[in-house]
A and B are shown apart, each in its own frame.
Chain A
């Protein structure tokens, strides 16, 4: 299920003293079954963008199409003046296509297909046991209780929490374990698209690595994974496609290797440390091939190769 943004803009609290424009004329195609990273400085519009995908927010103008669902503004735009009959007909046809009326069951169906894991999702845990908390999602989407519990168990095992956790209270777990429970809660509804917002914030490096490897497995199983992050080291290691946002606009869409190696300070981003170091060596005159570098060990080997050749 691809996601297509078409000239989408969004304003928070329009026509109030707190009015602020968060997204500006976004056109973007996110292909399915990929590991996609959305990067940009804090406040660049990343979180607002993803909330359009599962219709937590609706555009102020433009639209985003997710499979057959179109998230559109509440009000239809006025037809521009001075159109000829043919253009008027085309306008009307397009209007009819985009402005489908959504019933609440359509939105529910969309949210089942698009799972969104917020920042610090562990703050949203609420049930008495881990099992109940994870089963809440599928039950909420109308799955029978036994089936919901079965999905919950499967999801918990996928995130690396075994049977010994099922009957425990989520509140007595460590921060990293709580986050796994929260992620399992979304996985239990088997989304086709999984959106994760800064999933490694506040996790220690080992837990962060486990979490990222989990998302890679989920992608391999055929789910689109959309990662919102400002950690470029994660992007270098895991993402297949990267979307750079700045001031509510999409500045660039490319493969990670194409992005690294150029000056990223204009987007308030830094190259991953390995690329940054390699670039400085290049500036100081060492000929070093950065192609295919993904880890510190790769970098060490590239340095040694260049010393041997030089």
Chain B
């Protein structure tokens, strides 16, 4: 079953300018971790806004959980969807971290006696349990992103959309949040994730990669398939993950590496043989 289906989606902010999203079609199957990559201005963030119903008046069709996204369906759809944006300041409502996580739960009429254990679980998962009684304003950018993510995870969404949600985290923090998300997906094989990111290493770990350029979808496939197109990716200002760059650099220098060497660990063993 497809959780997201997008057909021929087109949108422009201004009739006189070229389309920010231009005839895009793709689908995201249930239980998959899909990454969407592209350079600044490629249309990724516009696509995120379209999917979350923040922009209406588009052409084409978006279907999420089997329902077409429209004014009268978006609230129903959002109940099962968690959104985390790049700048968490735009998302805070509570005066403490605890209130902020509780806000979403209150909206879903979770009973107050059930709330504390949920808040404890998710704040400790993202490493922010010690900060529950602090004011979000006094947190660093990366800590705010952790809180925003905890708030979304606490609501047990069936679909998570990240729009550059870990851009302010340090590499270890970034990996932690990715591990948490991958673990949640492993615990709940129905959890679907669409992550809009610049982090090619995250794309390398995902199930499926979509690549956007100038509003169009230009490549899609498994990480192995997509990152084999290094020249094409470079021409649209995207890097390859470290593994692919190194493999290519070795190939260019006349070292022959068999195709079955497709992970960093295998490459280490191969080079040390």
Which residues of A come within 8 Å of B, CB atoms? 12-13, 17-18, 20, 40-43, 47, 119-120, 123, 174-177, 198, 201-207, 230-232, 265, 268-270, 273-274, 277, 280-281, 284-286, 296-297, 299-301, 303-304, 307
Contacts and interface: CB of A to CB of B under 8 A. Distances in A.
Interface string B76-108: 000000000011000000000000000000000
Interface in B242-273: 242, 245-246, 249-250, 252-253, 255, 264, 268-269, 271-272
In the complex, which of the residues B38, B170, B245 has the most CB atoms of chain A within 10 Å of its own CB atom? B170
A174 B40 contact: yes
Contacts of A284: 268-269, 272
B237 interface: yes
A156 to B, nearest CB: 18
Contacts of B45: 175
Contacts of B168: 42, 119, 198, 201
Contact of B140 (A43, A205, A277): A43
Given A270-B172, A304-B255, A18 B142 contact: no
Interface residues of B, number: 43
A287 B90 CA distance: 50
A277 to B, nearest CB: 7
Given A204-B238, A277-B242, A285-B272, A20 B86 contact: no
A277 B249 CA distance: 14
A304 B200 CA distance: 26
Contacts of B86: 202
A43 B126 CA distance: 14
B167 interface: yes
A104 B45 CA distance: 42
Contacts of B118: none
Contacts of B242: 273-274, 277, 296
Contacts of A20: 134, 138
A202 B172 contact: no
A277 B242 CA distance: 10
Contacts of B255: 304, 307
A269 B172 contact: yes
Contacts of A265: 172
B153 to A, nearest CB: 18
Contacts of B173: 41-42, 230, 268
B143 A42 contact: yes
A81 B198 CA distance: 58
B172 A13 contact: no
A230 B170 contact: yes
B210 to A, nearest CB: 15
Contacts of A304: 250, 253, 255
